[in-house]
Amino acid sequence: MKSKLSAALAACGGSERAGPARPGIERACPMKPSKLTPSTVVLVAALSALGAANANADVMYSYLGNDFTNVSGPYTTSDHVTLSFTLASALGDNLPLSTVVPLTFTITDGVNTFTNTSQITSYFALSTTSVGSIDTWQIEIDENTCCTSISTKSLPPFDSTSQFDQGVVTDTLGFNTRGTVSVAPGAWTGPTEISGVPGPIAGAGLPG
């Protein structure tokens, strides 16, 4: 009859030649290393890449203004200011009026369109509510080569001089034409997370 030690060693794939267990210390069966198939490695890499992309995702804010009520030149009462911009992270809650520098932006007044890559001067000042929504703002875009500009502003005391959207075009003779709407602020949406596009994963072509 085999001893209890022999039976235990046999269950672990060993023998009594390994020597008796030391007093007070239990002999445990050694763990066999698990084998990772190529498909398992690819799956782990993909999940890791996805988690990193989500953690570093940019956010977008968008603004849709109301139609202009006073127009001249190329502007019509169907034109309005539309804006979207991205940041590396959300603005946060209860932000006092602060200047920010967007990663990217696009703004149009129905006649002109500018982006962060245009030859322009830009100014963004924003504040947020207790839930992180934009509630007051002053955004001005001026073309550097002349005087064409787009602006949207909604600041206290919310009168015609502190709450308006405007597009301005200056011709070669220096005359301005414009479209404006006062005391009728548009609406903001965001922050909206921008989903990143995962890059190629090493080993994705392995069989299995």
> What's the residue count for the chain?
208
Closest CA to 56 of 197, 208, 161: 197
Tens-place pLDDT, residues 92-110: 999 999 999 999 999 999 9
The domain spans of the chain are 1-31, 59-193
Which two three-digit tokens encode residue 110? Answer: 């129905």
Q: Tally the C-alpha atoms within 13 A of residue 55's C-alpha that lie toward its C-beta.
A: 6
Spell out where 129-162 has E strands. Answer: 134-143, 149-154
Q: How far apart are CA 30 and CA 147, in angstroms?
A: 78
Tens-place pLDDT, residues 135-188: 999 999 999 877 899 999 999 999 999 999 999 999 878 789 999 999 999 999
Q: How far apart are CA 191 and CA 143, in angstroms?
A: 27
Instruction: Name the phi and psi angles at 115, rounded to 5.
Output: -130, 175
Average pLDDT over residues 116-130: 96
Which two three-digit tokens encode residue 149? Answer: 């500009």
> What CA dihedral angle connects 70, 71, 72 and 75, to 10 degrees?
170
Closest CA to 66 of 138, 176, 154: 154
By CB atoms closer than 10 A (0-12, 13-18, 19+), residue 173 is exposed
Indicate yes or no: pTM above 0.85: no
| CB-CB neighbours of 121 under 10 Å | 11
Q: How far apart are CA 44 and CA 38, in angstroms?
A: 10
Q: How far apart are CA 115 and CA 106, in angstroms?
A: 4
Across all residues in the chain, what is the average pLDDT? 79
Confidence of residue 35 (pLDDT cuts 50, 70, 90): low
- Give Cα 106 distance to the centre of its chain: 15
